[in-house]
Structure 1
Amino acid sequence: MKLNLKNPIVFFDLETTGTNINSDRIVEICYLKVHPNGNEESKTLRINPEMPIPAESSAIHGIFDEDIADCPTFKEVAKNIAKDIEGSDLAGFNSNRFDIPLLAEEFLRAGVDIDLSKRKFVDVQVIFHKMEQRTLSAAYKFYCDKNLEDAHSAEADTRATYEVLMAQLDRYDELKNDIAFLSDYSSYNNNVDLAGRMIFDENGVEVFNFGKYKGVPVSEVLQKDAGYFGWMLNSDFTLNTKAELTKIKLRELTGK
């Protein structure tokens, strides 16, 4: 089967120093760009995270401090990565909750302005969980009838994710070979920010998705609790979340 594409789609996977979107860093990125004509391009980069890699993370992906000591920092390659994925939709395994928000944070820290708001995100893990409830290795075995060798290497996981999506399209008649459909299907919420701290409700209104104001319109909270905006900006939220919150705040102040 060939993916029905209007835009290129980039399947990607990150290996990182940990699982905290706010503070952890990328140590390896692999992306596979699939063009509407079916042509494919792939690239794998090791990244110096400018911080020690915890032993528990190295035990998972097999990348140690000495492996990336002479590698470029993310800031040094950020513009090239942004250029490679420009105009492309994005796909991954657990990418909506982890890889995409963390990648966006790295771009923000590097000072690279990349607008992901018009991209479509396809999370193959969400499709898998809605259909079967398992892990990437199990998904690869289940859908492709192959064992996932070198699991937790970015390159192996990226290629497996692409193959699993193709097999899902073959298996499930209800899945449309359409990126807009797959993006909607693989999203749990319609997020305002990539971390999902704010979402759009059924009426298209931005509401908080956590804490004491969960379900309350963001604009309403900013009006009645003036200190909440400052608290969020000074707390451990992602840079992307703070930027989207600031946009709403400025819109409320200017009426635009």
Structure 2
Amino acid sequence: MIHYILFDTETTGAQEEDRVIQFGSMILNQKGDLEVFDELCINPIPIKLEAMEVHNITPDLLKNKPNAVDTNFYKRLQELNRSENFLIAHNINFDLEMIKKEGFVNNYQLIDTLRCARHIFSELPYHRLQYLRYALELYKDEVAEAKKLNITIKAHDAIGDVLVMKLFLSKLVAQVKMSFPDINPMKKLVELTLTPVFVQTFKFGKYKGESIEDVAKKDANYLNWMMKNMDLDEDMQYTLNRVLER
């Protein structure tokens, strides 16, 4: 039976040395059965203050918690780690790299709801999960969903974000069914996850709001500087390479 594992992590920070301290997950199967996981875990890396500022997880909350690999979610993640199942997250590369530090070797089909959002809702200026929560009015359905599952929704809390992601995934599937009626929507989302997005405009920096192609024509040096000095995501790297090649 096919399973769909939606998950999110909170971590000690976003650097190479940082590790997982919270798992949030909802696991659904084809029958509609749902498993919910909301677990804190301990790791040897101190939590950075900047991370605490975002997720509000402090060291005292982790006392007597299990290691990441001993959580119920991680054990279930390993049990279902087969190619017929789907692993789903918003900006999945970040979360995947975090669980790889715990020894996880992926066999799932991957769906990145962030990249899929950039493909399918390209008209939106931003695709952060909390932005989508309001732009697509997901918040109107989340209270009833949270009450049904006995979940408290908080921004930048793993299980709260997973609940919003579940609602957003339903939107993605509906849009894919309309645009590609003859294709399995989950398979299409896997395909979109593997397809880089050409970013049209800058969302930050001195050229915020301007066309990247136009900036390439007038200030290619700035784009080259970005490539060398900034930590860019795959889509921005792909876009800058494309426009600089031209």
TM-score by length of 2: 0.64
Distance 1:17 1:115, change over 3 A: closer
Q: Report whether the alignment pairs 1:104 with 2:109.
A: no
Percent of aligned pairs with the same amino acid: 17
CA-CA distance at 1:116 after TM superposition? 1.7
Matches of 1:77 and 1:92 in 2, distance apart?
Answer: 19
CA distance in 1, matches of 2:173, 2:192: 13
Gapped runs of 5+ residues in structure 1? 1-5, 109-113, 190-256
Distance 1:72 1:161 in 2: 26
Going from structure 1 to structure 2, the CA distance change for 1:84 and 1:45 (only over 3 Å counts) comes to farther
Give the equivalent residue in structure 2 for 1:174: 179
1:142 aligns with 2:135: yes
Change in CA separation of 1:8 and 1:144 when aligned onto 2, cut-off 3 Å: farther
Residue from 3, 11, 17 that aligns with 2:6: 11
Partner Cα separation in structure 1 for residue 70 and residue 111 of structure 2: 27
Summarize deviations over 1:46-91 as a string: whole Å, max 9, x none.
0111221111101100100111022111243386244454333100
1:121 matched to 2:110: yes
Mapped partners of 1:70, 1:57: distance in 2: 21
- Measured against aligned partners, the alpha-carbon deviations of 1:130-162 in whole angstroms (never above 9, x if no partner) come to 223321111112224417841100000011111
Q: Which amino acid aligns with 1:124?
A: T
TM-score by length of 1: 0.62
Q: What secondary structure does 1:150 align onto? A: coil
Query: C-alpha deviations, 1:5-51, integer Å up to 9, x for none?
Result: x720100000001112x311101001110101121111111011122
1:89 to 68, 86, 89: 86
After superposition, residues 5-44 of structure 1 pair within 5 angstroms as 7-20=2-15, 22-44=16-38
Instruction: Give, in whole Å, the separation in 2 of the partners of 1:31 and 1:41.
Output: 8
Aligned to 1:221: none
CA contact (8 A) 2:21 2:41 kept: yes
Q: Where in structure 2 are there 5+ consecutive unaligned residues?
A: 143-152, 197-246
Asked if 2 retains the 8 angstrom alpha-carbon contact of 1:50 and 1:73, the reply is no
Query: What CA RMSD, in Å, does the superposition of the two structures yield over aligned residues?
Result: 2.2
Which residue identity is paired with 1:69? K
